A = this chain, B = another copy of it.
Amino acid sequence: MSVTLKQLAASLGLSPTTVSRALNGFPEVNAATRKRVEQAAALANYHPNTRAKSLATGRAQAIGHVIPVSTSHEIVNPVFADFIAGAGEVYARNGYEMILRVVPDDGEARAYRDLMARGSVDGVILHGPRTDDGRVAMLAELGLPFLVHGRTSGVSAPYSWLDINNQRSFHRATEFLCDFGHRRIALVNGLEEMDFAMRRRKGYLGALAAAGITPDPMLMRQAEMTEPYGYRAAQEMIQLPDPPTAFLASSMIVAYGILRGLSDMGLKLGRDISVITHDDELSYLPNDGDVPLFTATRSSVREAGRRAARMLLRLVAEPECGPLTELMETSLVLGASTGPVRT
């Protein structure tokens, strides 16, 4: 095992009290003594035992993330890894541990209760909120500080969240396509139980309405966001009697599927047909360069992770700072995948 506070104190001829205070920056310890303690600690590679420390202080110094993995659709959200990377960075810098719990999605409530009762975490981040998500009320009732990545409509009580402006994004993207003369615009969305997908559809519908276009149910799809889903959506829609001239995709993965579907039909993006996607800036799917492949509404999910973590740490430190909210705007980047409608 490693060296303990008591051992360190003994080796210095000091009491544990003094050593503790010296290392934690309390004023009532002689500067010379402090220096001596700090050097000895560094030399002995002393690190206070996390569990003992948090038992004594009552703070867990850890943040929990619960990831539900449904047994039906076994999708692990690809966005998750980058979000975690961002958040983890901030936790580490602030001396917090990140604990992940993978649970079957019917055991999520139990997972939160358990984390709370065992005192394993000081707060949690809620992932993938649905349109009317009961988890928010449950967490509020539990009294565990939490922050939602996204939002959930239909919950009236205020809560803390960080979200991107999904509605505005897709409104703007749709508008952009309309300005190019497109009137047959397809929406290839994520599952609409998810709050973000619902908001995106609202943005899309709003822009259509503003342009005097009647939405066509044949041009709207929702499903788990995989590559083949995008492929099939593109192939099938393009064969409609009155096919779309533009596509709005909910993620890069789906957009790649759409691209493949369209080029299999001999269509070239930007010339024959337009595609706009949302781009989370996943590191292995960079959409940059002089002219990005896709025109996209862009927002770094990594940065979202960082901000979410900072907000939650603040909530933990000062619980009475009230619900914190942040709405991140996306940018519309011009790529090679859009152009005027082909007549």
Residues of A participating in the B interface, judged by any CB pair closer than 8 Å: 1-2, 45-52, 54-55, 60, 62, 67, 69, 74-78, 80-82, 84-85, 87-89, 91-92, 97-103, 113-114, 116-120, 224-228, 253, 256, 259-260, 263-264, 282-286, 289, 293, 302
Contacts and interface: CB of A to CB of B under 8 A. Distances in A.
B76 A283 contact: yes
10 contacts: A47-B117, A69-B89, A74-B283, A74-B302, A76-B282, A77-B81, A77-B284, A98-B102, A263-B263, A263-B264
B284 A47 contact: no
* Consensus secondary structure, chain A interface: mixed
Contact of A55 (B51, B80, B116, B120): B51
Contacts of A98: 99-102
Contacts of A103: 92
Contacts of A102: 84-85, 87-89, 91-92, 98
- Report the copy number of this chain in the oligomer: 2
Nearest to A225: B284
A5 to B, nearest CB: 12
A30 to B, nearest CB: 26
A120 B92 contact: no
A315 B46 CA distance: 26
Contacts of A69: 85, 89
A240 B90 CA distance: 46
A67 B86 CA distance: 12
A6 B97 CA distance: 28
Contact of A47 (B99, B114, B225): B114
The list of the 5 closest CB pairs from A to B, nearest first, reads: A88-B102, A47-B117, A81-B81, A51-B51, A50-B118
